[in-house]
Homo-oligomer: A and B are copies of this chain.
Amino acid sequence: MNDFSELRKEVSSWINANWDPSLDLITWRKKLADSGWGAPDWPKEDFGMGLSPEESSIIEEEFSKKGVIGAAQSGVRLLAAVTILEHGTREQKDRYLKPILTGEENWCQLFSEPGSGSDLAGATTRADLIGDEWIINGQKVWNTSAHHADFGLLVARTNWDVPKHEGISYFIIDMRQKEVEVRQLRQMNGHASFNEVFFTDARVSRENILGTEGRGWQVAMTTLAYERRSFDRARRVSSDMAGDASIYREYEMELEKANEPYKWYPQRAGRGDLVLETAIETGAIENAAIRQEIARFHVLNESAKWTAARAKAAQKAGQPQGPEGSLGKLAASRVAQSAARVHTSIMGNGALLTGEGSLKDGILAEVLVSTPAISIAGGTDEIQKNIIAERVLGLPKEPRFDSGPFRDVQKNADKSST
C-alpha cells in the first residue's frame, strides 16, 4: 500500500513556499491554477497535474490540514469544467477553465424545462443556426445559480426531425446578454432557490457549441454522471479553516452565496434528528400513541441510515455504483414524509404556527412545508421506482411512445405549466 508520503511531502513544501493569506482570493487562485495544484486530477496541459483521484484527495487533505484555500468549487462550475475538459475544443478550454478555478466566472446549468422535468431529452427550447450564430428561444427552469451566472450550460433542440435524443445540441451561453431573462421562482416554503430562464432570440456564437451538432445528449451525459458522483462533495465544502485574513472572509462569502439556495435542504429531509428531542421537550413522549409513531419513524430512519451505509460500503469495496442509489433516494423520501408526520403529532397546536417564534425557531414549521419537495427534486419517486424495477429487479420496460421524429411526439399543449 502506498501511503503517499512522497506526495504529501511535495505538496507540503509547495504550500510552505507559496501560500500567502495576505493575498486577495483571486490573486491566490490564479497562482494556484497556474501551478497545477488547484486541480491536480486535471490534465497537465489544462491547469492540472494528471494525477489520480486518490492522489488528488491526498492533496486536498493537505490543503485542508494547513488551512489553505483551494480552487473554487461552488455551484455547478465543476460540472462545466469536466464537460469542457471532455468535450471542449482547445480554444474553449483556454477560454473557460482558468476563471472556473479562480472563481472569477460563475456558471449555471440549463437543462430542465417546464415541459420536461423527468424527461430531459424532451427539451423544446430551440436553437436555430442563422449565419454564424445560434439563435435561442425557449424556457428553462430549476437551476439554482442563473441569477449570478456568467455562463450557462445549455441543452437545446437543433433538429426536430429525428428521434428526441438525436436532435439535441449542447451550448455555452453568455448569460449577461439582455435576451436572457432570469426570474427567481419562489417555493411554497417561502424560499426562492430556483430560477426560470427565458430566452428570446438569445445568441450563442457558432464556436460555443460543445461537442458537435446533434450530439448534445452524449455531452449532457458527462455532466449528469459527474453531478451524480459529486453531489455530496459539492455541498460538503465548508469553512472549517481558521484564519482572520480577509481572504478567508472572501472565501466564506463565496460559500455563503453558493449555499444560499440549499439552506432549507435539511428541513426538506425532515429533520429526523429533532424528533426525539422535541418529543421530550414538549412532553409528547408521555403519550403512548405518539410513542408508537416516534418508534415507527425511528425504525425507518435507522434502517435508512444503515441501508445508505451498506450501499456506500459496497461502492467503496469496488462494487460499481448502480441504480441502488434510487433505493436510497426513495428511502430518503419516505423518511422525510414520515418525519413531517411525526413532527406534526408531536407539535400538536404548535403546528398551527410558523416563523421564528414557532417551535424550534421555526425549523419544524419549515419542515412541514418543505418535505413535499424531496420526492420530486432530482428525479421523482416514480422515476426512481421505474429505475429500481427495470434495472435492479430486471422487470420489462414500459412501451415507448416517443421514439419517432420528435416533431411527431405528443407534447404539452402549451408551455405554461400551471
Q: Which residue of chain B has the shortest Cβ distance to A287 in the bound complex?
A: B288
Q: Which residue of chain B has the shortest Cβ distance to A398 in the bound complex?
A: B399
Report the separation of the CA atoms of residues A210 and B399 in the bound assembly, to the nearest whole angstrom.
Answer: 39
- A399 partner residues in chain B, CB cutoff 8 A: 399, 401
CB-defined interface of A377-405 with B at 8 Å, one 1/0 digit per residue?
A: 00000000000000000000001010000
Report the separation of the CA atoms of residues A292 and B401 in the bound assembly, to the nearest whole angstrom.
Answer: 47
Q: Which residue of chain B has the shortest Cβ distance to A291 in the bound complex?
A: B289
Smallest CB–CB gap between A295 and chain B, Å? 10
Within 8 A of B (CB), among A285-309: 288-289, 292
Smallest CB–CB gap between A386 and chain B, Å? 16
Interface size class of A (residues with CB under 8 A): under 10
Report the separation of the CA atoms of residues A180 and B289 in the bound assembly, to the nearest whole angstrom.
Answer: 58
Q: Which residue of chain B has the shortest Cβ distance to A401 in the bound complex?
A: B399
- A289 partner residues in chain B, CB cutoff 8 A: 288-289, 292
Smallest CB–CB gap between A389 and chain B, Å? 15
- A288 partner residues in chain B, CB cutoff 8 A: 288-289
Report the separation of the CA atoms of residues A399 and B400 in the bound assembly, to the nearest whole angstrom.
Answer: 10
Smallest CB–CB gap between A346 and chain B, Å? 15
Report the separation of the CA atoms of residues A86 and B288 in the bound assembly, to the nearest whole angstrom.
Answer: 62
Report the separation of the CA atoms of residues A292 and B289 in the bound assembly, to the nearest whole angstrom.
Answer: 7
Within 8 A of B (CB), among A265-293: 288-289, 292
- A292 partner residues in chain B, CB cutoff 8 A: 289, 292
Report the separation of the CA atoms of residues A111 and B289 in the bound assembly, to the nearest whole angstrom.
Answer: 49
Smallest CB–CB gap between A403 and chain B, Å? 13
- A401 partner residues in chain B, CB cutoff 8 A: 399
Within 8 A of B (CB), among A399-413: 399, 401
Report the separation of the CA atoms of residues A277 and B399 in the bound assembly, to the nearest whole angstrom.
Answer: 51
Smallest CB–CB gap between A288 and chain B, Å? 4
Smallest CB–CB gap between A206 and chain B, Å? 42
Smallest CB–CB gap between A298 and chain B, Å? 15
Report the separation of the CA atoms of residues A188 and B214 in the bound assembly, to the nearest whole angstrom.
Answer: 59
CB-defined interface of A328-353 with B at 8 Å, one 1/0 digit per residue?
A: 00000000000000000000000000
Smallest CB–CB gap between A286 and chain B, Å? 11
Q: Which residue of chain B has the shortest Cβ distance to A293 in the bound complex?
A: B292
Report the separation of the CA atoms of residues A399 and B399 in the bound assembly, to the nearest whole angstrom.
Answer: 9
Q: Which residue of chain B has the shortest Cβ distance to A399 in the bound complex?
A: B399
Q: Which residue of chain B has the shortest Cβ distance to A295 in the bound complex?
A: B289
Report the separation of the CA atoms of residues A292 and B291 in the bound assembly, to the nearest whole angstrom.
Answer: 12
Smallest CB–CB gap between A11 and chain B, Å? 59
Report the separation of the CA atoms of residues A73 and B103 in the bound assembly, to the nearest whole angstrom.
Answer: 86
Report the separation of the CA atoms of residues A399 and B401 in the bound assembly, to the nearest whole angstrom.
Answer: 10
Smallest CB–CB gap between A397 and chain B, Å? 13
Report the separation of the CA atoms of residues A206 and B337 in the bound assembly, to the nearest whole angstrom.
Answer: 64
Report the separation of the CA atoms of residues A274 and B404 in the bound assembly, to the nearest whole angstrom.
Answer: 59
Smallest CB–CB gap between A45 and chain B, Å? 52
Smallest CB–CB gap between A387 and chain B, Å? 21
Smallest CB–CB gap between A252 and chain B, Å? 49
Considering the complex of A and B, which 7 residue pairs feature the smallest CB-CB distances, nearest first?
A288-B288, A289-B292, A288-B289, A399-B399, A292-B292, A289-B289, A399-B401
Residues of A within 8 A of B (CB): 288-289, 292, 399, 401
**7 sample A-B contacts, Cβ–Cβ < 8 Å, listed by A number:** A288-B288, A288-B289, A289-B289, A289-B292, A292-B292, A399-B399, A399-B401
